[in-house]
Amino acid sequence: MPKVPMVVTTERGVFFGYGTPDLEAAHVKLTNARMVVYWTADCRSVVGLAANGPTNGCRIGPRVLAIMIRNVTAVMEVDEKAAAKFEEAPWSG
């Protein structure tokens, strides 16, 4: 199965990267991953962040080659338009 862009949440963090979606997995491996440090109200929640990508007021961290996300609470597939916004890695403030 090809890797797809997705947002993964845990109790303590939100991450964007590429992986194989498994809606029942407790752990997810992401490649070319970034941490979402902060998102603005105009994103309209973490689901809105996944649906539309980050805005200029957000804080998206630098890329790491791979990360294992443990204790996953949500996995959301992201379309290519939203993924492109994550790749821009906006950081305001």
3-state helix, strand, coil in the chain (%, to 5): 20, 40, 40
**Distance of alpha carbon 72 from alpha carbon 2, whole angstroms:** 20
92, part of any domain:
no
The confidence band for 87, taking pLDDT boundaries of 50, 70 and 90, is very high
Rg (CA), the chain: 12
* Amino acid 24: pLDDT: 86
Domain harbouring 41, CATH code: 2.30.30.100
**Distance of alpha carbon 82 from alpha carbon 59, whole angstroms:** 15
**What is the model's pTM?**
0.93
Residue-range definition of the domain harbouring residue 75: 4-87
67, part of any domain:
yes
70, part of any domain:
yes
